[in-house]
Amino acid sequence: MTRLVSFFILTFCTLALAQQPDPSTPPVRTVLRALPLGGDDDINSLPHPEEPAVRPVPPAVPVSPAALPAIPYSTPALPMQSASLLSPLDVKPTGEDAVRLQIFLDEAKFGPGVIDGKPGRFTELAVQSWNEVNGYPVDDWVAANTAARKAVTNPLATAVVPDFVDEWVDKSLPYKYSQQAKRKRMSYRSYAEFMSERYHCDVPFLVELNGSSKVNNLKPHDTLIVPNVTPFHIENLTGAAFKADDAMSQRHAVVDTKINQVRIFEAAPAALIVAEPGVTEINPVARPNRGLIASFPITPGQPKFIKFGTWEVSNSVELPYWRYDQKLLSTGKRSADSESLNIPPGPNSPVGIFWCGLSKPGIGLHGTSSPETIGRARSAGCIRLANWDAVRLPTLICPGTTVEIR
């Protein structure tokens, strides 16, 4: 056992952390010209001004993993072996099998929403997308569950709170926009919030896995049980602006405001059903739709602000500033610059860590400060995604990509 521990330590200690910017001097970025209407400015998704930064969570029974060695803070999450009971393959899974399936879908770029071991509508939609791509009946669970068991051997892992976490956490971050505009970064409000978003889950699920006492008293170098998913490394964001790409600019995305999902396609997805003239009944045979390359859950804007139609991505930038304009939120008409506020970038910005502006001014796809509300709370405008999904958009679409909102 000692040799095994030494092997892990020697191996993972060789991985260097990404160089961190000085939090006191964030990079200077111009305010976006395609200004978002509302981001997360929704009464259902904003905390009360008097709400504490870290809300106490009722105690929960933590998972009982095998005894684990101390792990250097610089290591990636280490998978944990588990002996939980397996769910039937032909139904929606439960327990660790549910976590396993959600991780599998997330890694395949078919976002299931928050990883919480409680698969709901977004997990169902992700399974349907994965089935469509691979040629299975859309409502079949067997293929996805089987593939998940093969791909995700260990659904849980141990992760370490990194020592640079204080650069991204500000427990005193105010809730009023007038006070936020004076800050240099819209940071996380707690270590738990940082770690939950890093591993695509929410704070209640971390409590379920680790217990409330540990989660509410985290500090750097502490270890946590987390979903064994590729982490969202916010420290790697630089504020980059992305340009057109010959291949990605030919793709198109469909934002479906009825089912709250964005689906991204290659330039010319193949027709799945072709009817001969005069044929009145079609018996389609399922076959792979390789044109579909990704899908993610979204929250659309308020109906009065949704701009249905076909647009084009005009700009794409990490860590955007957000222009708070109450007149724009209320009426859709922009006020004078002197009557607005520029909210600094960061994970708790109303537009999250990424902005993808469309050719229709003021409308775009962006991140969120409240991933747990995706699909449930409506923003004042635009199309919201969880930050860990939004950060993947530049690898899938770019300026020139067609976006249809319907």
Question: For 94-119, what is the mean pLDDT?
Answer: 97
Task: Among 26-35, 210-219, 305-314, 338-347, name the one with the lowest average pLDDT.
Answer: 26-35
Show the tokens assigned to 385: 């995604």
- 363 with 403: CB under 8 angstroms? no
- Structural domain boundaries enclosing 394: 248-270+288-405
The 3-state secondary structure of the chain, one letter per residue? CHHHHHHHHHHHCCCCCCCCCCCCCCCCCCCCCCCCCCCCCCCCCCCCCCCCCCCCCCCCCCCCCCCCCCCCCCCCCEECCCCCCCCCCCCCCCHHHHHHHHHHHHHCCECCCCCCCCCCHHHHHHHHHHHHHHCCCCCCCHHHHHHHHHHCCCCEEEEECCHHHHHCECCCCCCCHHHHCCCCCCCECCHHHHHHHHCCCCHHHHHHHHCHHHHHCCCCCCEEEEECCCCCCHHHCCCCECCCCCCHHHCEEEEECCCCEEEEECCCCCCCCCCCCCCCCCCCCCCCCCCEEEEEECEEECCCCCCCEEEEEEEEEECCCEEECHHHHHHCCCCCHHHCEEECCCCCCCCCCEEEEECCCCCEEECCCCHHHCCCCCECCCEECCHHHHCCHHHCCCCCCEEEEC
Distance CA 63, CA 181 (A): 41
Q: Considering the domain boundaries, does residue 9 fall inside one?
A: no
Q: Considering the domain boundaries, does residue 359 fall inside one?
A: yes
Distance CA 261, CA 313 (A): 18
Which phi and psi angles does 127 have, rounded to 5°? -60, -40
Please give the single-letter amino acid code of residue 251: R
Residue 239 has pLDDT above 70, yes or no: yes
Q: What is the pLDDT of residue 42?
A: 42
Interval 118-151: pLDDT, tens: 999 999 999 999 999 999 999 999 999 999 999 9
Q: Considering the domain boundaries, does residue 92 fall inside one?
A: no
Question: For 259-284, what is the mean pLDDT?
Answer: 65
Residue 270 has pLDDT above 80, yes or no: no
Residue 276 has pLDDT above 60, yes or no: no
Q: Considering the domain boundaries, does residue 49 fall inside one?
A: no
Q: Considering the domain boundaries, does residue 292 fall inside one?
A: yes
Task: Among 11-15, 181-185, 385-389, name the one with the lowest average pLDDT.
Answer: 11-15
Task: Return the residue matching tokens 């409330």.
Answer: 212
Q: Considering the domain boundaries, does residue 388 fall inside one?
A: yes
**Number of domains, the chain:** 1
Question: For 34-41, what is the mean pLDDT?
Answer: 44
The confidence band for 113, taking pLDDT boundaries of 50, 70 and 90, is very high
Distance CA 106, CA 113 (A): 8
Q: What is the pLDDT of residue 29?
A: 41
The confidence band for 401, taking pLDDT boundaries of 50, 70 and 90, is very high
The confidence band for 191, taking pLDDT boundaries of 50, 70 and 90, is very high
Question: For 20-48, what is the mean pLDDT?
Answer: 42
Q: Considering the domain boundaries, does residue 395 fall inside one?
A: yes
The confidence band for 362, taking pLDDT boundaries of 50, 70 and 90, is confident
Q: What is the pLDDT of residue 380?
A: 63
Residue 24 has pLDDT above 90, yes or no: no
Q: Considering the domain boundaries, does residue 378 fall inside one?
A: yes
Residue 45 has pLDDT above 80, yes or no: no
pTM beyond 0.85:
no
The confidence band for 278, taking pLDDT boundaries of 50, 70 and 90, is low
Q: What is the pLDDT of residue 373?
A: 87
Residue 61 has pLDDT above 90, yes or no: no
Distance CA 351, CA 72 (A): 34
Q: What is the pLDDT of residue 119?
A: 97
Q: What is the pLDDT of residue 50?
A: 37
Q: What is the pLDDT of residue 302?
A: 81
Q: How far is C-alpha 392 from the chain's CA centre?
A: 8
Task: Among 26-35, 81-90, 264-273, 357-366, name the one with the lowest average pLDDT.
Answer: 26-35
Q: What is the pLDDT of residue 287?
A: 72
What is the rounded average pLDDT for all residues in the chain? Answer: 81
Report the CATH number at residue 337. Answer: 2.40.440.10
What percent of the chain has pLDDT above 90?
63
- 111 with 389: CB under 8 angstroms? yes
The confidence band for 54, taking pLDDT boundaries of 50, 70 and 90, is very low
What percent of the chain has pLDDT above 70?
72
Q: What is the pLDDT of residue 324?
A: 84
Residue 33 has pLDDT above 70, yes or no: no
Q: What is the pLDDT of residue 388?
A: 98
Q: How far apart are the first and last CA of the chain?
A: 57
